[in-house]
Amino acid sequence: MIKIGIIGGSGMDDPNLLDSYEKVDVMTPYGHPSSSITQGTISGIPIAILARHGKKHQIMPTNVNNRANIWALKHIGCSHIIATTAVGSLKEEVKPGDLVLIDQFIDRTTKRHKTFYDKDRVCHIPMAEPFCDKLRNILIQTSQELMINTHPKGTVVTVEGPRFSTKAESNMFRMWGADIINMSTVPEVVLAREAGLCYASVAMSTDYDCWRESTEAVTFEEVLRVMKENSEKVKRLILTAIPRIAHLECKCKEDINSSLI
């Protein structure tokens, strides 16, 4: 049975989007998730919404309990996850307000639990294609139909945070071939694959990272302003895509079967 977990914000944490919703608290072997989980349905499809940084955005990136978040969504029956994330742009063509359907990541985090299997067993989960192609393609096609300015692929570099990059770092990430930068995708996407969940991420460019000399240095206030202006397009994309995911089958759930030692 399909049940879609939605992680993040971007206006999707509005319980009024759901039919007959309820909030549930889940305790996991890894502690509490970032927030209670709001459950209901959209177009008859079961939905579970979790706020990655807490309901009041009080949890900094390093302290997000990613293992608890993914475990909780799996525990209540989620089969798919659509994550939303604010990102900085590392490319001129990825303008503030654009969406990116990420297909690759570069991991620059240093302090996070990145696997469920850190005792007794070792997991070598394949990550050559870290995001579910079938789920991504539904989101790509839907964004095209809605005429939302969306980049169908992109590489995100996830940094530890909570600080923003130096210009030297920002330019280095550009030389590495990264398109956007954030603080949240890793290890969330990795844990989702270990849990056998199909995972796709809708990234919203809120600013040009500090590499761009002609742009003033990014501030969190500016990030919030652009996020607010563009949250409606993210909401519209996800709401339109949800009914199309109802019969989606892929092999994401099978990778774990051949990855454990």
Active site residue ranges: 207, 209
* Segments of the chain assigned E as strands: 4-7, 19-24, 37-42, 45-50, 80-89, 99-101, 104-108, 150-151, 155-159, 180-182, 198-208
Structure token digits, residue 33: 């998730």
Name 37's Cβ contacts closer than 8 Å, sequence gap at least 6.
23, 24, 25, 26, 48, 49, 50, 72, 73, 76
Q: How many beta carbons lie within 10 A of that of residue 259, not counting itself? A: 16
Return the sign of the alpha-carbon dihedral for residues 223, 224, 229, 231: positive
**Count H helices, E strands: the chain?**
5, 11
Length of the chain: 261
Alpha-carbon dihedral angle through residues 117, 121, 123, 124, given to the nearest 10 degrees: 140
